[in-house]
């Protein structure tokens, strides 16, 4: 999969692309990230990329020409999705990450300052996306978050083919508790069942741990999770214990 990223700060991406899963995916040819400096597409001699807003008010607005020139010359008629990062966008989710990963090519325009000229949206943007309800100084960090979350859905990017479907949210639930060695630390013990070698019992325990955590922290996720009869019963028990003040 190929990403075309349009930004005023391409260097911000370097360390993220040079480590861990994204690094390995690029080395294996599964992922290509092309960074395009919007400034290189400015037409005036000062290479201006932003100006004060018409109508006054504070802040600066990213200009339309450099961005449209950059996107059109890089995509050259290709019909890839073009994402604009903006706090006014649709909220980014695991489902969206999986959907975007089905495209061979994806463009992300990193918004900056107080805004982006509205005509950028009208001319080249296909999706406006926000990563959450808070304001970042620029879209670069949001673009990196999306890049990472999307890359995890590209086939063969994750070492263990099982990992992505087990992630929090892919199943509609938060992940439960995890343990590794040692079996006891400062009196805190790993649950016996995880040491038992009984794979079915381990799977049951994990699912229950995920259900319990989701119920405690993000109960609204349970409304859309697909649950078996016995899982619903388990949640009923949690709710009863809670109403008796036991948890
Ligand atoms: Cl995508 N951009 C900016 N600037 N701030 C954000 C955001 C995006 N998502 C949440 N906050």
Q: Which of 130, 151, 172 is the last residue of a domain?
A: 151
Average pLDDT rounded to a whole number, residues 200-222: 96
Residue 235 to residues 52, 137, 225, Cα–Cα distance (Å): 55, 41, 12
pLDDT for 164: 60
Active site residue ranges: 87, 114, 152, 167
Whether 134 is in the pocket of ligand 1, judged by its Cβ within 6 Å, is: yes
pLDDT for 163: 67
pLDDT for 165: 62
How is residue 53 annotated by DSSP? P
114 Cα: distance to centroid of ligand 1 (angstroms): 11
The tokens of 121 are what?
């949206």
Question: Considering the domain boundaries, does residue 134 fall inside one?
Answer: yes
Confidence band, pLDDT 50/70/90 cuts, at residue 246? confident
Secondary structure class of 108 (helix, strand, coil): strand
Q: Which domain holds residue 22?
A: 2-151
Average pLDDT rounded to a whole number, residues 204-219: 96
Rounded Cα gap, residues 244 and 247, in angstroms: 8
Whether 111 is in the pocket of ligand 1, judged by its Cβ within 6 Å, is: yes
Q: Do 17 and 128 share a structural domain?
A: yes
Given a cut of 80, whether residue 80 has pLDDT beyond it is yes
Residue that the structure tokens 């590209």 belong to: 154
Q: pLDDT (tens digit, 9 = 90+) per residue, 156-210?
A: 999 875 466 667 777 889 999 999 999 999 999 999 999 999 999 999 999 999 9
Q: Do 139 and 49 share a structural domain?
A: yes
88 Cα: distance to centroid of ligand 1 (angstroms): 8
pTM: 0.93
Residue owning the nearest CA to atom 3 of ligand 1: 136
Q: Which of 131, 151, 171 is the last residue of a domain?
A: 151
Whether 132 is in the pocket of ligand 1, judged by its Cβ within 6 Å, is: yes
Q: Which of 102, 132, 151 is the last residue of a domain?
A: 151
58 Cα: distance to centroid of ligand 1 (angstroms): 19
CATH of residue 141:
3.40.1280.10
Q: Do 199 and 77 share a structural domain?
A: no
pLDDT for 167: 72
Whether 87 is in the pocket of ligand 1, judged by its Cβ within 6 Å, is: yes
List CB contacts of 92: < 8 A, sequence separation 6 or more: 129, 130, 131, 132, 142, 145, 146, 149
Is residue 73 within 8 Å of residue 40, measured between CB atoms? no
Spell out where 121-228 has E strands.
Answer: 127-130, 184-185, 188-189
Q: Do 25 and 93 share a structural domain?
A: yes
Average pLDDT value for the chain: 95
Q: Do 136 and 34 share a structural domain?
A: yes
Confidence band, pLDDT 50/70/90 cuts, at residue 49? very high
Q: Do 195 and 98 share a structural domain?
A: no
Rounded Cα gap, residues 50 and 144, in angstroms: 22
Whether 210 is in the pocket of ligand 1, judged by its Cβ within 6 Å, is: no
Q: pLDDT (tens digit, 9 = 90+) per residue, 102-160?
A: 999 999 999 986 899 999 999 999 999 999 999 999 999 999 999 999 999 999 999 87
Residue count of the chain, please give it.
Answer: 247
Q: pLDDT (tens digit, 9 = 90+) per residue, 25-40?
A: 999 999 999 999 999 9
Q: Specify the number of domains making up the chain.
A: 2
């Amino acid at each position: 999969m190929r990403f075309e990223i349009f930004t005023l700060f391409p260097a911000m991406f370097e360390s993220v692309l040079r480590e861990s899963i994204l690094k390995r995916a690029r080395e294996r040819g599964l992922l290509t990230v092309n960074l395009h400096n919007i400034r290189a597409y400015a037409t005036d001699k000062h290479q201006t990329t932003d100006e004060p807003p018409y109508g006054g008010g504070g802040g600066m607005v990213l200009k339309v020409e450099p961005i449209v020139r950059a996107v059109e010359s890089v995509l050259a008629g290709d019909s890839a999705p073009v994402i604009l990062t903006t706090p006014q966008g649709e909220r980014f989710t695991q489902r969206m990450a999986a959907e975007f990963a089905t495209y061979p090519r994806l463009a992300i325009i990193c918004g900056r300052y107080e805004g982006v000229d509205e005509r950028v949206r009208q001319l080249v943007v296909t999706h406006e996306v926000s990563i959450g309800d808070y304001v970042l100084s620029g879209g670069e960090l949001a673009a990196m978050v999306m890049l990472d979350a999307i890359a995890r859905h590209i086939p063969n990017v994750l070492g263990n083919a099982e990992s992505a479907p087990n992630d929090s949210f892919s199943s509609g639930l938060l992940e439960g508790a995890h343990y590794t060695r040692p079996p006891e630390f400062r009196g805190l013990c790993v649950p016996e069942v995880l040491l038992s070698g009984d794979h079915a019992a381990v799977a049951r325990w994990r699912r229950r741990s995920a259900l319990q955590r989701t119920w405690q922290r993000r109960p609204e996720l349970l409304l859309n999770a697909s649950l078996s009869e016995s899982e619903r019963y388990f949640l009923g028990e949690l709710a009863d214990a809670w109403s008796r003040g036991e948890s």
